[in-house]
């Protein structure tokens, strides 16, 4: 009887120990026979002459992306992002006629997206986003009687 329980205990220990040893050997990162890759991304932030925080990001493969933020005369922050291959994305923020912050985004391939925000009668900010190919997304927020906020998102293709 003692030998049978000892054999069962040894079998149970082997059942648990072998997968655990294999997992510790590969550390869950790479398949058997393959080396795990290691890479580092760095972000360097600095304050520009206009007081806005700029950034330079060096990616895992050595590519560099720069983020140049510009404080506009209207007090809003615009930005220009230049990618590792030289393509740029520009975001221009401005105050609309209703006082809400609207934006025009020119993408890396030249497409333009507009964001039109408006303050609703309930005090919540709604918005309409029009993409570079004419598709629109409308986001309508409403406040319930208990104070929670519901959001309705409507998408329309041209």
Specify burial of residue 58 (Cβ count, 10 A radius: 0-12, 13-18, 19+). middle
The proportion of the chain whose per-residue pLDDT surpasses 90, expressed as a percent, equals: 63
> CB within 8 A of 46, min separation 6: which ones?
53, 54, 55, 56
pLDDT at 69 over 90: yes
Phi, psi of 120 (to 5 degrees): -75, 175
Give the number of other CB atoms < 10 A from CB of residue 102: 19
When pLDDT is averaged across residues 110-128 and rounded to a whole number, the result is: 93
When pLDDT is averaged across residues 59-69 and rounded to a whole number, the result is: 94
Select from 96, 93, 63, 64 the least CA-distant residue to 79: 93
* pTM score, whole prediction: 0.69
Q: What is the mean pLDDT of the chain?
A: 84
């Amino acid at each position: 009887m003692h030998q049978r329980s000892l054999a069962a205990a040894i079998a149970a220990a082997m059942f648990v120990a072998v997968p655990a040893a294999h997992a510790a050997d590969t550390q869950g990162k790479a398949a058997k026979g393959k080396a795990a890759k290691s890479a580092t991304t760095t972000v360097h932030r600095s304050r520009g002459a206009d007081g806005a925080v700029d950034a330079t990001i060096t990616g895992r493969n050595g590519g560099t992306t720069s983020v140049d933020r510009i404080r506009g005369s209207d007090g809003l922050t615009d930005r220009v992002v230049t990618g590792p291959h030289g393509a740029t994305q520009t975001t221009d923020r401005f105050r609309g006629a209703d006082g809400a912050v609207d934006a025009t985004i020119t993408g890396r391939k030249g497409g333009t997206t507009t964001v039109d925000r408006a303050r609703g009668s309930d005090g919540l900010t709604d918005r309409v986003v029009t993409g570079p190919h004419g598709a629109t997304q409308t986001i309508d927020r409403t406040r319930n009687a208990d104070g929670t906020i519901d959001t309705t998102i409507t998408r329309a293709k041209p």
